[in-house]
């Protein structure tokens, strides 16, 4: 789990959540992002199933994109030394960004996974956004209590969430690439795209991990 986290996160102890004295595989911001991403995608899949293919209205797309802004502002201002952030702020803004990213990806990924089904526009109603914000709210509140076994629960869950997010992104990219090169009618099935996406996830983790390690050695030297 630490090696998966090391591929994509600085893993600074002071910026990470701890349970029972043990640090999670990624920082608080990444923890919030990936947990909320996975939770939001699963919720969307349960709500819309194979019919969620069409993007929501423009105002909702803008609102979902705005959810990503707080974590960008928090990261830039804290790294620039303009202000000192906290793990609570990092986790909450990360959860907002993860929710927005998952909701934006879902229609495209769903249309590529479940071809031939009836399309339905998602998140059409004004109250869809407040309901969607329950995802980052629940995620942000859920991992604050420290209880026996909390480390293993959250460490495993956030690792699986990272893998799920990478898989969905790679699956979408692979499907779009084949559709562009070979045409929609000759694009590979879900099984082929899934195998290629899984291989890409493994390759990305290994390469990013080694690059992080080489960068660390370069900084130390």
Summarize pLDDT for 46-88 with one digit per residue, the tens.
Answer: 888 776 668 888 999 999 999 999 999 999 999 888 888 999 9
Query: Could you tell me the pLDDT band of residue 117, with boundaries at 50, 70 and 90?
Result: low
Number of domains forming the structure of the chain: 1
Summarize pLDDT for 19-40 with one digit per residue, the tens.
Answer: 988 999 999 999 999 999 999 9
Question: Domain of 91?
Answer: 2-220
- pLDDT in the model for residue 175: 87
CA distance 42 to 102: 9
Quick one: the chain helix, strand, coil %, rounded to 5?
70, 5, 25
CA distance 53 to 109: 8
CA distance 22 to 151: 7
> In 3D, which of 59, 56, 33 has the Cα closest to residue 110?
56
27, 12 contact by CB (below 8 A): yes
Q: Residues 151, 152, 155, CA angle at the centre, nearest 5°?
A: 80
Residue carrying structure tokens 């195998």: 195
- pLDDT in the model for residue 118: 59
Half-sphere exposure of 77 (CA within 13 A, CB side): 13
% of the chain with per-residue pLDDT over 70: 91
- The most confident of 118-122, 165-169, 214-218, by mean pLDDT: 165-169
CA distance 160 to 214: 25
Query: Please, is 154 exposed, middle or buried when counting C-beta atoms within 10 Å of its C-beta (0-12, 13-18, 19+)?
Result: buried
CA distance 28 to 211: 22
- Torsion over CA: 7, 13, 17, 22 (sign): positive
Residue carrying structure tokens 């909702």: 60
- pLDDT in the model for residue 83: 87
φ, ψ of residue 121 to 5 degrees: the values are -75, 135
Q: Which residues pair with 52 in a beta bridge?
A: 120
Q: Which residues pair with 54 in a beta bridge?
A: 121
């Amino acid at each position: 789990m630490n090696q998966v986290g090391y591929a994509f996160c600085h893993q600074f102890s002071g910026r990470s959540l701890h349970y029972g004295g043990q640090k999670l595989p990624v920082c608080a911001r990444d923890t919030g992002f990936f947990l909320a991403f996975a939770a939001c995608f699963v919720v969307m899949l349960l709500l819309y199933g194979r019919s969620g293919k069409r993007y929501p209205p423009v105002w909702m797309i803008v609102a979902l994109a705005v959810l990503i802004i707080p974590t960008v502002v928090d990261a830039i201002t804290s790294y620039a030394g303009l202000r000192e952030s906290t793990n609570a702020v990092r986790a909450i803004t990360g959860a907002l960004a993860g929710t927005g990213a998952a909701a934006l990806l879902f229609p495209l990924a769903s249309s590529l996974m479940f071809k031939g089904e009836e399309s339905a526009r998602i998140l059409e109603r004004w109250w869809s956004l407040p309901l969607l914000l329950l995802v980052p709210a629940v995620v942000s509140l859920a991992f604050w209590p420290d209880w026996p076994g909390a480390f293993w629960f959250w460490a495993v869950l956030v690792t699986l969430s990272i893998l799920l997010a990478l898989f969905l992104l790679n699956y979408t990219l692979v499907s779009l690439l084949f559709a562009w090169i070979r045409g929609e009618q000759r694009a590979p099935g879900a099984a082929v795209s899934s195998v290629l996406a899984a291989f890409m996830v493994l390759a990305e983790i290994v390469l990013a991990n080694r690059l992080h390690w080489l960068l660390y050695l370069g900084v130390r030297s």
